[in-house]
Structure 1
Amino acid sequence: MITESQSQAVPGPSYRSAEEIGRTAAGPRPLPPLDGHTLHTMPTPVDTVLANGLRVIAVRRPSTPMVELRMALPFAGDTYAQVATAEVLATTLFRGTPGSGRRQLHTELACQGISLDASRSARWLNISGSAPGHALGTLLDALAGALTSSSHDEEDVARVRARMPRQISIIRSQPHVIAQEALFAHCYGEVAGLQEVPLAAEAERVTAERVRALHHAMVRPRGAVMVLVGELDPERAVADVAAITALWGDTGTTGSELELPALREGIVLVARPGAVQSQIKLTRHTVSRADDRFPAVSIAALAFGGYFSSRLVMNIRETKGLAYRTDSGFQDHLDQLALTVDADTATDATVQAFGEILAELHRLVNAPPSVAEIDSAREYTIGMAMLALTSQAGFAGSVLTAVILGHEPERVTRFPELLRDVTTNEVADAAGAFFRPETFSGVVVGDAERLESGLRELVGDRLVPRQVT
């Protein structure tokens, strides 16, 4: 509490404005230099493959008294029924084990500050968890119990099955999901393994017996990766994982490797009568992340449309206001890495926005990014990569992503150095090789009656009308 005598001892105003704080008697306060060159170092990990085939990577980073766990198990479905069953499996994985109820398990974990969650992507069963350092053993016990003997009982499966069709229908009604599904269908035909969102009709047919059978067949240690980061002794943590998962062995049969058919050419117009917005999605295959050219392709994609100062964003979003959102980046299509360009526009602006995208692709090929553009894109992506490594959770996630994409853990700190070595000529070569507009396939989802003639003027016979049922 400020007394009267204290308040009288401070002459003048009791606060200063931002402008006053930012100035001194000698003028404006100088800003500290940007520290854009301090890179993270990779702590020496304990990286081993256990006898059952599980790869465990443990890294000590005791910035907080917590441990972060990230895990991925190969989980690509080769039928639509399997995709739906896998979705239910992920949802019910931590609902309890035989002899323990769901509420009891969650209460015991929550009381110790432990969290565990599972989700499914097109290729992986993803598990994330966190715990105080002293409770790592309890976290691992709960995880091992779910992996080896999760109950997936009739009540839980029935509850999930009852609500999932409605959730799926809501998700599948979203324009970006419609566009993504249409893109996959056009580019590859019907490939169940690409499906991120299961079909509602398939979800309604999932039974607890099918979930348990899929668990037995596919929840296997061989090929799985576990990453532990935080306040831990790496050697001891790996030994604990080995002991706790000793009875978790390979079951079922190894699934077949899914391969994509050749990417189909052309631009498909997907009809949504009366739509007031359109989604534009273009894609083409590019080099793998292990290719020496990938850093240059990354910078070219970023300079083209991958962040707020990129050419495409400045053109169709900031300057001309033709798009609500636009982006350029990479997406994994099973075993293929795809370069993607997409934009969300109003119906009236769709044709013009599409034309500007094609024009910017031409311009990137004929007038590659300048030194200034390359430096800006490089510093941005290095900064974002380094920012992701500042927390235990971000570090664990980055290491797991690097490993499941075929790299070693050191990739998370080495990739920024690879970006620094990229030359202007390498970016120009990448732009010429991978950004020619005629090499992209894609879809435009919108009001076909209002868009078809304008789009045909832009791409001619490459436009293929298609009605979504």
Structure 2
Amino acid sequence: MSMLQPRPELGPPQPYTFPKPRRLSVGSGHVIAIDVPGQQYAAVRLVQPAGAANEPLDRMGVAYLTGEVLEDGVRGNSSLAPALEQYGAEWVCRVTWDSFVTGVDAPITRISDAVALFAEAVRAPALRPEDVVRRRDQLIERFWLDSSVPSTLAMRAVGGQLFTGRYGTPLNGGPVKLRDLTPEVVADFHARSIASVAGTLVVVGDLSGVDLEELGKTVFADAAPTPTAPITPPEHASGERPRIMLLDRPGSVQSAVVLAHHAPSRPETDLPKADGMSDVLGGMFTSRLNMELRERLGYTYGVGCQFDLRRDSGVFILRTQVDAAATAHSVTVTLAEIDRLQADGVTEEELEAVRESNTVGLPVTYSTARSLASALVEMVVHDLPEDHVDRLRAGFEGLTAEDLGMAARNLLHPRESVVIVAGDAAQIEEPLRETGFGPVSVRDPESLWS
């Protein structure tokens, strides 16, 4: 007798509406919350505008380093995590170009205790000099360790090829600039940009018994109103484009390839059109580049393609990792696929795949407190309306093939790109020159941040 049950038939996708958040002002700060009945593990995030983009050039990396040092807590020496563990809570910190986000994930029954510990760690950490130096040295060591991975190395070189100023150095400041950061610099940044700034508190979970106003008072205390972060478009780096920069890694059997160029800022970008077009080119498993470079040619395990959009600027990035012998051909194939997409547009099958991949899975995408909190954080950072997710869904549902074809022509600029390759120059320099894409320069990776 068979124990197998018949497979259930799939029904039509269910419509999804993003939950309406509750908003309230507490002191100089704001609380944005989503009540999710039955969600017993809450996500709490404090959003402040102290992102890395606004750092002075002599303090590059201070936001990132401060985020690391906060984990040492009010007693120093990595004391925060053990203190939170007694409440089943976990520390969260993420520094981006546009924001400084800290928080905790905690059982809803212990949220008051966990948030009190979190607030103390954010507002009044020990910031012991020995902890700052230890964390700084660890970041420098980690920088070089991570840069030994070709894909990481190539990605970290993008900023310096497209921008001058702060964006020309990696988010964490790079090894040279990090070395210049002293405990006094970290303490000053924390006092001015973190401890004294209220920010916006995001809370998601089963809030039936949670006093949101009391949580806000605990986190904001007497901090000042959040200042408006200046938005100044960054200067573009000079140099001929298109061009290829080859980061020499002698003996490397693979090459990391990144194609990058400038893109509009987050407020200037129609996300469904931009992301939908990017999905067709290299953002989905069935994308054109994945089918060509992976499935047909067998050069790579996969291709990635995305827009990195910030408040003041943007970058389009296409990346893959291929066998060294296939490096130059991978570049020409990539350029040919971009040309074909711009000339011929997308098919109805590709359009439908974009729609489904960005709408059908929304109930799963936003099924956890963390994912809902992340969406609210994005809304705060980029001043988005509270129905932002619903507008995105409607935008993807209303896409046409013409929309995506136009996005490819307007947003892809291969002849204004820089291709960065991390690989064995002795093996791939001449083939890269023969592509005719642009001049090829060879650099020692360690010279990028010296």
TM-score scaled by length of structure 1: 0.84
Pairwise CA RMSD of aligned residues? 2.9
Structure 1 residue 21 corresponds to structure 2 residue 4: yes
Once the two structures are superposed, the pairs formed by residues 22-61 of structure 1 within 5 Å of their partners are 29=6, 31-36=8-13, 38-52=14-28, 54-61=29-36
State which of 95, 114, 120 in structure 2 corresponds to 1:139.
114
Instruction: Return the alpha-carbon distance in structure 1 between the equivalents of residues 387 and 229 of structure 2.
Output: 29
Counterpart in the other structure of 2:375: 398
> Per the alignment, do residues 201 and 296 of structure 1 end up closer, same or farther by CA in structure 2, a change over 3 Å counting?
closer
State which of 235, 256, 261 in structure 1 corresponds to 2:235.
261
> Per the alignment, do residues 30 and 396 of structure 1 end up closer, same or farther by CA in structure 2, a change over 3 Å counting?
same
- C-alpha contact (below 8 Å) 2:247/2:420 kept by paired residues: no
- C-alpha contact (below 8 Å) 1:225/1:404 kept by paired residues: no
Q: Which amino acid aligns with 2:405?
A: A
Q: Measure how far apart 1:369 and its partner are.
A: 1.0
- C-alpha contact (below 8 Å) 2:45/2:203 kept by paired residues: yes
Instruction: Return the alpha-carbon distance in structure 2 between the equivalents of residues 269 and 445 of structure 1.
Output: 9
Q: Measure how far apart 1:313 and its partner are.
A: 0.5
Once the two structures are superposed, the pairs formed by residues 72-221 of structure 1 within 5 Å of their partners are 72-74=47-49, 75-76=51-52, 77-79=54-56, 82-97=59-74, 100=75, 106-191=81-166, 195-219=170-194
Q: Measure how far apart 1:116 and its partner are.
A: 1.9
Instruction: Return the alpha-carbon distance in structure 2 between the equivalents of residues 155 and 437 of structure 1.
Output: 48
- C-alpha contact (below 8 Å) 2:16/2:362 kept by paired residues: no
> Per the alignment, do residues 91 and 51 of structure 1 end up closer, same or farther by CA in structure 2, a change over 3 Å counting?
same
User: Deviation string for 1:415-466 (max 9, x for gaps)?
Assistant: 1121101122212211222235324333223223333333233334x22414
> Per the alignment, do residues 369 and 86 of structure 1 end up closer, same or farther by CA in structure 2, a change over 3 Å counting?
same
SS of the equivalent of 1:219 reads: helix
Instruction: Return the alpha-carbon distance in structure 1 between the equivalents of residues 417 and 168 of structure 2.
Output: 22
Instruction: Return the alpha-carbon distance in structure 2 between the equivalents of residues 425 and 327 of structure 1.
Output: 23
Instruction: Return the alpha-carbon distance in structure 2 between the equivalents of residues 118 and 178 of structure 1.
Output: 23
Q: Which amino acid aligns with 2:139?
A: M
Once the two structures are superposed, the pairs formed by residues 428-447 of structure 1 within 5 Å of their partners are 428-447=405-424
Counterpart in the other structure of 1:25: none
Q: Provide structure 2 residue ranges, at least 5 long, that are not aligned to the other structure.
A: none
SS of the equivalent of 2:435 reads: helix
Q: Provide structure 1 residue ranges, at least 5 long, that are not aligned to the other structure.
A: 1-11, 23-28
> Per the alignment, do residues 167 and 428 of structure 1 end up closer, same or farther by CA in structure 2, a change over 3 Å counting?
closer
Q: What is the number of equivalent residue pairs in this alignment?
A: 440
Instruction: Return the alpha-carbon distance in structure 2 between the equivalents of residues 334 and 442 of structure 1.
Output: 24
- C-alpha contact (below 8 Å) 2:151/2:422 kept by paired residues: no
Instruction: Return the alpha-carbon distance in structure 2 between the equivalents of residues 91 and 289 of structure 1.
Output: 27
Instruction: Return the alpha-carbon distance in structure 1 between the equivalents of residues 209 and 417 of structure 2.
Output: 46
Counterpart in the other structure of 1:231: 206
Counterpart in the other structure of 2:441: 465
Instruction: Return the alpha-carbon distance in structure 1 between the equivalents of residues 315 and 178 of structure 2.
Output: 29
Q: Measure how far apart 1:108 and its partner are.
A: 4.0
Q: Measure how far apart 1:201 and its partner are.
A: 3.8
Instruction: Return the alpha-carbon distance in structure 2 between the equivalents of residues 106 and 48 of structure 1.
Output: 30
Q: Measure how far apart 1:334 and its partner are.
A: 5.9
Q: Measure how far apart 1:170 and its partner are.
A: 0.6
- C-alpha contact (below 8 Å) 1:115/1:131 kept by paired residues: yes
Q: Which has the larger Rg?
A: 1
Structure 1 residue 64 corresponds to structure 2 residue 39: yes
Say which is worse superposed, 418-427 or 384-393, in terms of deviation. Answer: 384-393
Q: Which amino acid aligns with 1:120?
A: V
Instruction: Return the alpha-carbon distance in structure 2 between the equivalents of residues 436 and 201 of structure 1.
Output: 32
- C-alpha contact (below 8 Å) 2:165/2:234 kept by paired residues: no
State which of 416, 421, 428 in structure 1 corresponds to 2:393.
416
User: Deviation string for 1:378-430 (max 9, x for gaps)?
Assistant: 10122454422011111111221233133123212331121101122212211
- C-alpha contact (below 8 Å) 1:49/1:55 kept by paired residues: yes
Counterpart in the other structure of 1:448: 425
Q: Measure how far apart 1:355 and its partner are.
A: 0.9
Instruction: Return the alpha-carbon distance in structure 1 between the equivalents of residues 127 and 381 of structure 2.
Output: 27
Instruction: Return the alpha-carbon distance in structure 2 between the equivalents of residues 293 and 209 of structure 1.
Output: 42
Instruction: Return the alpha-carbon distance in structure 2 between the equivalents of residues 234 and 195 of structure 1.
Output: 43
SS of the equivalent of 2:33 reads: strand
> Per the alignment, do residues 124 and 208 of structure 1 end up closer, same or farther by CA in structure 2, a change over 3 Å counting?
same
SS of the equivalent of 1:327 reads: strand
TM-score scaled by length of structure 2: 0.87
Counterpart in the other structure of 1:330: 307
